[in-house]
Amino acid sequence: MKAEILSIGTELLLGTITDTNASWLAQRLADLGIDLFYVSQVGDNLGRLAESLRRAISRSDIVITTGGVGPTEDDLTREAISAVLGEQMAVQPEVEAQLRAFFERRGVRMPERNVKQATLIPSARALSNPIGTAPGWWTQPTQGEFAGKIVVTMPGVPHEMKRMWTEEVEPALGKLSGGGLIYSINAKVVGVGESTVEESLGDLIHSDNPTLATYAKQDGVHVRVTAKASTREQAERLTKEMVERVQAIFGSAIYGYNDDTLEQALVTLLISRKLTLATMESVTGGLVAHNLTNVPGASDCFLSGLVSYSPAMKVKAGVPQAVIDEYGVVSEQCALAMATVARAYTGAEIGISTTGVAGPSELEGQPVGTVWLGIDYQGERRAVKLYYRSTRPEIKRLAAMAAVNLARLALLKGLGRCY
Amino acid sequence: MKAEILSIGTELLLGTITDTNASWLAQRLADLGIDLFYVSQVGDNLGRLAESLRRAISRSDIVITTGGVGPTEDDLTREAISAVLGEQMAVQPEVEAQLRAFFERRGVRMPERNVKQATLIPSARALSNPIGTAPGWWTQPTQGEFAGKIVVTMPGVPHEMKRMWTEEVEPALGKLSGGGLIYSINAKVVGVGESTVEESLGDLIHSDNPTLATYAKQDGVHVRVTAKASTREQAERLTKEMVERVQAIFGSAIYGYNDDTLEQALVTLLISRKLTLATMESVTGGLVAHNLTNVPGASDCFLSGLVSYSPAMKVKAGVPQAVIDEYGVVSEQCALAMATVARAYTGAEIGISTTGVAGPSELEGQPVGTVWLGIDYQGERRAVKLYYRSTRPEIKRLAAMAAVNLARLALLKGLGRCY
C-alpha cells in the first residue's frame, strides 16, 4: 500500500508553524509497513487544494490529510474532497448532535457556523473527536474513478490528530493491510551511540515481525519494536517478547520505554529505595536540578540543588580552598568535593556534582567541553571525566544527562560499575 | 513570483527527522514578498524526484530544493534536475578545486566519490558552501520548455542551507523581484500577548514597506519588520526607522532583537552596571539558573543559585520557620524571604526567587499554576503573584521567564514599576 500525506493550512506556507504532524505520521506509517512516497503542504485555497488532492488520490492508495477541518470559511478540506469525488456534502443529524453535546459539556452554545463540521459525503464516515470540535472523515468511494482509494481526514491540532490516528485510524488501517493490528514499544537506551546500538542488535535488526528500527534522539537512542498480528493482544505479546530480548542485550543501558524519561527513572529508583539526592552544579548551571524537578513527585527524593558558578561560591558552600588551589575547579578532586558538599549541606544519601568548561573559552588550560562528574553515595565516592566536542548548550545538556545516568547506574550496579 | 519548496530525503518520509528547513524558508519568502504555494517532501528516488521537480518547475517560477546533494548514490537532486532539463552534468575544475581545498583545510584527503559534488550543468552556476562539502546550484535555463524558470538547490543541513540562503540566494532573488533587496529585524516583546501587540501596533501593521508581522513564539512575541529597497543600505535604513517606531510603542517590553535572549538582556544589563545576582528557586526547580548560565559570560554577574524544593531546605537556607508556619511556602512573604536569602547567602546586590505550585496536585490549598516571584534589590523588596493555567513544564518555563523579566524591569524602571 502506498500512502501520501497532505498537510493543509496557509500558516504552514507562511512559516508561522512547522509541520510536525507529518513526521509523526511518517513514523507511524513505517510501523504499519505502509510506504510513504510523498508529503505535501498546501494552503487554504480550494483550487490548489483540490488539485493536490486529485493528484494524491490518483497516484496513492491512501491519502492522509491534516488540517483545514475547522468551522471557518478558510477550512476547505471537506469541500476539496467533495469536489474531487463529485459528491454532495450534507449535515448528519447524529454528528451534529455529538457536536452540540461537546459544546454543552463546556457550558457554551455552539456557534451556528460550526454545523459545517457535522457534514459528510455519501462515501465518508465520521471519525470521532471527543477532545475537539472537528470530527474526521474516513472516505472510501465504492464506485467511480477512485473506487477503493482511501482518504483519511484529520484535524491539524496535534493532540487531536494523534488521538484520532491511534484510536480510530490505525486499527482500521491495520485490518486492511493484511488483517493486521500493530503494537509498538520504544526502548530507550542511554550512554551508547546509535551505531553501537545497531551493531549490538545483530541479526535482530533484520527481523520481519516484529520489526526493529533505531532512532538517535535527544534523550538517547530509541529501539522501536513493532509487531503486526491479527489481534492487538497477539501483536502486543510478540512485541513484548522481542522487547525482552532487546532488554537482555542492553540491560541497564535501557532506562525506560515510550514516554519514560531518564530523570523519571532515577526519581522512581530513589523513591522505591527510600533514598534522597542533592546536587551541586557548576558546568550544568542548574540543568540537572531543572530536569529532576520536571518529574512530578521529585520533591519526595530531591532535597536541594546548589548552583555554584564561581570558585568563591564553591568554597563558600564548603569545597576546601586547598582543593581548588591545588587541582583547580575542573578536576576530579573538585568534583568529588562538590558531591560531598551536596550531601553534607542536605543530609541526602546521594550527592552528585558537575564541573567543567562549557565555553566559550577554555578554563584552567582545559579545553571547552571538558566535564568532570562526581558522586558521593553514603560516603563512597567516584568521579568520571567526559569530553564533549560541542556547543555550550549541548555540553550542558549532555553533561546533565550523564550526571543523572551516573546516579542511576550507581544505584543499579554500584559505584564501581556506574560508568 | 510564485515559489515552491521541495524537501528531499527518504529520512523525512520515515519520520526520522522533521522538516524545519521548509518553515524557515517559508518565513524568508514571505519577507521577500514571494508567494509560496506548495511545499513537498519526496524521498531519494530518481523517478519520483524528477516527477515532482518537473511538476514544480511547470507550475512555479522558483523552485527551492533542500537535501540530496551529498556525495553518495542516494543523493540524486542534481541528477533529477539534469534529467528534467535534459542537460548533461560535468565536473567543473574550479568547483572541484574548492572542494579539495575544503578537505585539505581539515587535513583529510577528499574521498573520490565527493567529486560528484563538483558537477554542474550548462544552465547552472555553483552557490558556494564554505562550511560544508556540498555546493548549491542556481539553475536558470535560457531556452527550452523551462526558459526563465529558476531552480535553487541547497544542502539539507540546516546551518549550511541558512548561510547559503542568506548570503547567496536572497541577494540574487531580491535583485530579480523588482530590483529589491530586503532587510529584516525581529523585535522581541515579553510580557504582552500577541493580540495586544497587534492592537498596540495600530495602523503600522498595515504598512507596505516596511511590512510588519507578529509571531507568537516561546521566547515572547516577535514583531518582524522587513523593508525592501534597491540597495541593502536603504532597506536597512527603512527597517531601522520602523523598528524605532516599534520601540517607541513598546519601550522596555522589548528585550532584544533577532537572536537576543531575555537572559542575555539581563546579564548584559547586570554587567554594564557592575551588579551581581543570585537566585533561590522552588517552583522553577533550577530553570532560572539554567537559563542564566546559558549566556556566555554569565559567570561575571551570576554568583550562585539555590534550588530548595522542600520547606525544610528553605528553612535550612535561611527562610524563617515562622514565615512558612504563618503564611506557607506559596506566599508573598516566603517569596520575599527567599529573595533576601539569595542575597544574604552570596552578597549579591540582587536576589530573585520563585515559589508556587507546578502540580500535579495543589499545595497549601492553592491551585496548580499559582506562582509568587520575589526580588530583593539592595534591601528594597517586591513580590508579584502570577497564575498560569498550564502544564507542569509550561508553568516552570513561564515562571522562569517572568522571574528574569522582573529583574530586568527592576533594573530599567525601578522596583515600583517592574511589573
Contact B399, B389 (CB under 8 A): no
User: Could you tell me which of B39, B64, B57, B37 has the C-alpha nearest to residue A45?
Assistant: B37
Query: Taking CB atoms and an 8 Å limit, are B25 and A19 in contact across chains?
Result: no
- d(C-alpha A280, C-alpha A317), whole Å: 9
| Domain of residue A230, CATH code | 3.30.70.2860
3-state secondary structure B396-419: HHHHHHHHHHHHHHHHHHCHHHCC
In this structure, what are the phi and psi dihedrals at residue B325, rounded to the nearest 5 degrees?
A: -60, -45
Cis peptide upstream of residue B210 (ω within 30 degrees of 0): yes
Same domain, A136 and A223: no
pLDDT digits (tens, 9 = 90+) for A74-85: 899 999 999 999
Give the per-residue pLDDT at A11: 85
A positions 314-353 inside 8 Å of B (CB):
316-317, 345-346
- Nearest chain B alpha carbon to A400: B290
User: Could you tell me which of B353, B346, B355 has the C-alpha nearest to residue B304?
Assistant: B346
Residue keyed to cell 522501536: A224
The total number of structural domains in chain A stands at 3
Distance from B212 to chain A by nearest Cα, in Å? 14
Beta-carbon contacts of residue B369 (< 8 Å; ≥ 6 apart): B356, B357, B359, B387, B388, B389, B390, B395
Distance from A30 to chain B by nearest Cα, in Å? 6
Same domain, A65 and A126: yes
- d(C-alpha B382, C-alpha A327), whole Å: 42
Beta-carbon contacts of residue A162 (< 8 Å; ≥ 6 apart): A24
Q: Which residues of chain B have pLDDT under 70?
A: 177-180
Query: Taking CB atoms and an 8 Å limit, are B396 and A28 in contact across chains?
Result: no
Q: Rounded to the nearest 10 degrees, how much is the dihedral formed by the CA atoms of B120, B125, B127, B133?
A: 20
- d(C-alpha B239, C-alpha B237), whole Å: 5
Last residue of a domain, one of A176, A195, A211: A176
Q: How far is CA B339 from CA B259, B305, B370, B407, in A?
A: 30, 11, 18, 11
Compute CA B399 distance to the chain's CA centroid, rounded to the nearest angstrom: 20
Best A293, A300, A357 member to test B by mutation, with max B CBs in 10 Å, is: A293
The H or E element containing residue A28 is: helix A20-32
Same domain, A165 and A185: no
| DSSP secondary structure of B101-145 | HHHHHTT-PPPGGGGGGGEE-TTEEEEP-TTSS--EEEE--SSST
**Chain A contact for B294 (CB, 8 A cutoff):** yes
Residue keyed to cell 530599567: B412
How many CA atoms does the CB half-sphere of B54 hold within 13 Å? Answer: 14
- Nearest CB to B26: which of A13, A23, A392? A13
Q: What is the DSSP letter of A415?
A: G
B144-149, Cβ contacts within 8 angstroms, sequence gap of 24 or more: B144/B85, B144/B86, B146/B57, B146/B58, B146/B84, B146/B85, B149/B57, B149/B60, B149/B61, B149/B62, B149/B63
Cis peptide upstream of residue B155 (ω within 30 degrees of 0): no
Same domain, B151 and B233: no
**Chain A contact for B88 (CB, 8 A cutoff):** no
Contact A222, A256 (CB under 8 A): no
Last residue of a domain, one of B154, B176, B198: B176
Q: Which residues of chain A have pLDDT under 50?
A: none
- d(C-alpha B137, C-alpha B85), whole Å: 14
| Domain of residue B152, CATH code | 3.40.980.10
pLDDT digits (tens, 9 = 90+) for A315-324: 999 999 999 9
Same domain, B10 and B157: yes
In this structure, what are the phi and psi dihedrals at residue B396, rounded to the nearest 5 degrees?
A: -60, -45
Q: What is the DSSP letter of A128?
A: P
Same domain, A150 and A204: no
**Chain B contact for A54 (CB, 8 A cutoff):** no
Give the per-residue pLDDT at A223: 93
Give the per-residue pLDDT at A178: 62
Beta-carbon contacts of residue B318 (< 8 Å; ≥ 6 apart): B337, B340, B341, B344, B345
- d(C-alpha B220, C-alpha B3), whole Å: 30
Same domain, A296 and A410: yes
Three cell numbers at B266? Answer: 539581563
Query: Taking CB atoms and an 8 Å limit, are B309 and A290 in contact across chains?
Result: no
Contact B15, A213 (CB under 8 A): no
pLDDT digits (tens, 9 = 90+) for B173-223: 877 766 567 788 999 999 988 888 989 999 998 898 998 988 888 899 999
Same domain, B219 and B266: no
Last residue of a domain, one of B159, B176, B193: B176
Contact A350, A343 (CB under 8 A): yes
Query: Taking CB atoms and an 8 Å limit, are B26 and A12 in contact across chains?
Result: yes
- State pTM to two decimals: 0.83
Query: Taking CB atoms and an 8 Å limit, are B309 and A304 in contact across chains?
Result: yes
- d(C-alpha A131, C-alpha A119), whole Å: 18
| Domain of residue B403, CATH code | 3.90.950.20
Best B6, B277, B313, B345 member to test A by mutation, with max A CBs in 10 Å, is: B313
Same domain, A155 and A282: no
pLDDT digits (tens, 9 = 90+) for B302-333: 999 999 988 999 999 999 999 999 999 999 99
Same domain, B326 and B223: no
Same domain, A236 and A275: no
**Chain B contact for A294 (CB, 8 A cutoff):** yes
B370's torsion region: left (phi>0), alpha (psi -120 to 50) or beta?
beta
Full residue range of the structural domain in which residue A229 is found:
181-257
Beta-carbon contacts of residue A180 (< 8 Å; ≥ 6 apart): A174, A228, A229, A230, A235
Axis crossing angle, helix B46-59 with helix B77-85, rounded to the nearest 10: 60
**Interface confidence: ipTM more than 0.90:** no
- d(C-alpha A98, C-alpha B348), whole Å: 60
Helix ranges restricted to H, B204-320: 232-250, 262-272, 287-293, 311-317
- Nearest CB to B290: which of A42, A287, A296? A287
Mean pLDDT of chain A: 93
Contacts of A345 in chain B (CB under 8 A): 316
Same domain, B185 and B171: no
Axis crossing angle, helix A46-59 with helix A77-85, rounded to the nearest 10: 60
Radius of gyration, alpha carbons of chain B: 27
- d(C-alpha A339, C-alpha B375), whole Å: 30
Give the per-residue pLDDT at B179: 57
Which amino acid is residue B323, in one-letter code? V
- d(C-alpha B318, C-alpha B403), whole Å: 20
Give the three-class secondary structure for A122: coil
Give the per-residue pLDDT at B82: 96
CA quadruple B304, B308, B314, B316: dihedral sign: negative
